């Protein structure tokens, strides 16, 4: 059974109502600050990096890129975090900036270049390995979620075992949100 079909937990709804300070079309919505407050560990002494780490997840939760998270977005995100491949699902949504369900080459390059750090995976876009997923310069192709996840797993296995998939691309590490979230739901 897909967890995306699970009914929303009343706690998830309660957390949303507690934190949502924004309004859109007369409905409560979460701002970035609301969202970070809802998912970050309650006693964490924020510093800038931690805040940015959590705030980046807002982009994955804000499915229509409207700058606010609706109750439907929140419940969808909560279900996403329950999935065993949550980190990959989140990474995919961060890269799929137009939300059309595939990551095309331009999206991939753009997100990678915006977020890479000195520690990021150094892609050789012309390597046979990379063209397997992204195509070559004559013919680029978009990645489905399965292809994207396969690529990330390949990257991890090849280069950095035990490394969080998002940290391959982002200039900071993200504490797996599922842990914080489940603590929050206890
Ligand atoms: Ca896309």
For residue 161, name the pLDDT band (cuts at 50, 70, 90). very low
Q: What percent of the chain has pLDDT over 70?
A: 66
Q: How far does residue 113's CA lie from ligand 1's centre (Å)?
A: 16
Q: For the residues 23-46, what does the mean pLDDT come to? A: 85
Q: How far does residue 15's CA lie from ligand 1's centre (Å)?
A: 30
Q: How far does residue 81's CA lie from ligand 1's centre (Å)?
A: 21
Among 42-56, 59-73, 123-137, which is the least confidently predicted range?
42-56
Total-model pTM: 0.72
Q: How far does residue 71's CA lie from ligand 1's centre (Å)?
A: 23
Cα radius of gyration rounded to whole Å, the chain: 17
Secondary structure E strands in 25-182:
27-29, 135-136, 139-140
Q: How far does residue 98's CA lie from ligand 1's centre (Å)?
A: 5
Q: How far does residue 105's CA lie from ligand 1's centre (Å)?
A: 9
Predicted confidence (pLDDT) at residue 164 exceeds the cutoff of 60: no
Predicted confidence (pLDDT) at residue 129 exceeds the cutoff of 60: yes
Q: How far does residue 44's CA lie from ligand 1's centre (Å)?
A: 34
- Find, among 101, 80, 91, 93, the residue nearest to 3 by Cα: 80
Q: How far does residue 112's CA lie from ligand 1's centre (Å)?
A: 14
- HSE value, Cβ hemisphere, 13 Å, CA-based, for 90: 30
Task: Name all domains of the chain by residue range, CATH numbers in brackets.
Answer: 8-185 (1.10.238)
Q: What is the pLDDT of residue 180?
A: 40
Q: How far does residue 66's CA lie from ligand 1's centre (Å)?
A: 16
For 88, phi and psi rounded to 5 degrees? -70, -40
Measured CA distances, 135 to 79, 104, 143, 153 (Å)? 32, 10, 10, 18
Q: Over the stretch 62-117, which tens digit does the pLDDT of each residue have?
A: 988 899 999 999 999 988 888 888 878 888 888 898 889 999 988 988 887 777 66
CA torsion 81-86-89-95 (nearest 10°) is 90
Average pLDDT, the chain: 76
Q: What is the pLDDT of residue 69?
A: 97
Q: Regarding predicted confidence, which is higher, 156 or 14?
A: 14
In angstroms, how far apart are the furthest CA atoms of the chain? 52
Q: What is the pLDDT of residue 175?
A: 42
Predicted confidence (pLDDT) at residue 1 exceeds the cutoff of 50: no
Q: How far does residue 74's CA lie from ligand 1's centre (Å)?
A: 21
Q: How far does residue 21's CA lie from ligand 1's centre (Å)?
A: 30
Q: Over the stretch 2-31, which tens digit does the pLDDT of each residue have?
A: 444 556 678 889 999 999 999 999 999 999
Predicted confidence (pLDDT) at residue 171 exceeds the cutoff of 60: no
Q: For the residues 175-184, what does the mean pLDDT come to? A: 39
Structure tokens at 52: 């940015």
Q: How far does residue 90's CA lie from ligand 1's centre (Å)?
A: 14
């Amino acid at each position: 059974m897909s967890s995306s079909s699970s009914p929303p937990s009343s706690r998830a709804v309660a957390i949303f109502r507690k934190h949502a300070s924004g309004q859109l079309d007369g409905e409560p919505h979460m701002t970035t600050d609301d969202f970070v407050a809802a998912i970050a560990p309650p006693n964490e002494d924020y510093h800038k990096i931690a805040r940015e780490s959590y705030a980046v997840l807002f982009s994955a939760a804000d499915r229509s890129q409207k700058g606010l998270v609706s109750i439907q977005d929140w419940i969808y995100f909560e279900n996403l975090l329950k999935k065993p491949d949550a980190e990959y699902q989140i990474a995919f949504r961060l890269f799929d900036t137009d939300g059309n369900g595939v990551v095309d080459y331009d999206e991939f390059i753009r997100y990678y270049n915006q977020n890479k750090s000195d520690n990021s995976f150094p892609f050789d876009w012309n390597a046979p390995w990379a063209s397997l997923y992204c195509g070559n310069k004559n013919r680029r192709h978009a990645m489905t979620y399965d292809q994207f996840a396969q690529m990330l797993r390949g990257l991890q296995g090849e280069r950095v075992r035990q490394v969080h998939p998002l940290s391959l691309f982002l200039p900071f590490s993200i504490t797996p949100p599922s842990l914080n979230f489940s603590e929050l739901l206890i």
